[in-house]
Amino acid sequence: MAIMNVNPTRMQMTKLKKQLQTARRGHKMLKDKRDELMRQFIELVQENKRLRDQVEEKLRSCGAAFTNAGAVMSREALESSLMSSKQQTGVEIGQKNIMSVDVPVFSAVSESSDENDIFPYGFAFTSFELDDAVMSLNDLLPELIRLAEIEKSCELMAAEIEKTRRRVNSLEHVMIPRYEETIKYISMKLEENDRSSRTRLMKVKDMLLEKAHHYSEKK
């Protein structure tokens, strides 16, 4: 691990020790965030799988219902019955925050409150099989919107988990070891300098004693 290019001084070592403490605290916080994101992500994935299986099953039922309607009505009559709609349905988009990730919240918004407006035709020239098909598709709409919401949330959370994981790895395997190695290097240099200083002081002391001893003998 390469050490940082810094001056080996006590002030620099004190500064690096504070930065190391900050890096360790940040590492712990990011690990906790990653673990909580993973927990909530797994819950969403499980709900997504359950809801997708449910939606796919209901879509098959809707397809079968429209097939039955087509069996008792002519193609022209079926298409003309569904050509125009009385009710317009849109999607209202909001958002909520999950562990600093803004995920979407979708909800269906209808222009009409009359439940019968889901049928874009009169009942005189259509079959009840078509009514069942339209009702089943209308009942499925909220689940389709919820599925889209969950899948987008999973996508955003997966990206945040990956970003957090990279940060954790960078701190754990690069930054923190680099701080530790640099602090160790500075500590060794300071000890080496202290030993050199003591050695010089001892030599100076010996020289002074020797000089004083010779001077006293001349007296």
Task: Specify the pLDDT at position 217.
Answer: 47
Whether 86 is in a domain gets the answer yes
CB 28 within 8 A of CB 204: no
Cα 168 off chain centre by = 13
Q: Partners of 98 in the beta sheet? A: 101
* Banded model confidence at residue 218, pLDDT cuts 50, 70, 90: very low
What's the whole-model pTM score?
0.74
Task: Give the domain extent around 53.
Answer: 10-204
Share of the chain above pLDDT 70, in %: 87
Amino acid at 88: Q
**Phi, psi for residue 12 in degrees, rounded to 5:** -65, -40
3 belongs to a structural domain: no
Q: Which residue has the higher pLDDT, 175 or 112?
A: 175
- Does some domain include residue 1? no
Locate 38 and state its tokens: 């993973």
CATH number, domain with residue 118: 1.10.287.3240
Collect contacts of 74-77 with beta carbons under 8 A, ≥24 apart. 77/125, 77/126
Taking the C-alpha atoms of residue 179 and residue 188, their distance in angstroms, rounded to an integer, is 14
How many domains are there within the chain?
A: 1
Kindly report, residue by residue over 120-150, the tens digit of the pLDDT: 666 666 777 877 888 888 888 889 999 999 9
Examine residue 84 and state whether it is found in any structural domain, yes or no.
yes
Q: Is residue 140 part of a domain?
A: yes
Q: Where residue 219 falls among pLDDT bands split at 50, 70, 90?
A: very low
Encode burial over 26-62: b for 16+ CB neighbours within 10 A, e otherwise: ebeebbebbeebeebbeebeeebeebeeeeeebeeeb
Amino acid at 172: E
Give residue-wise pLDDT tens across range 155-198. Answer: 999 999 999 999 999 999 999 999 999 999 999 888 887 777 77
- Tell me the sheet residues that pair with 106: 93
Asked if residue 210 belongs to a domain, the reply is no
How far out from the chain centre does Cα 35 lie? 10
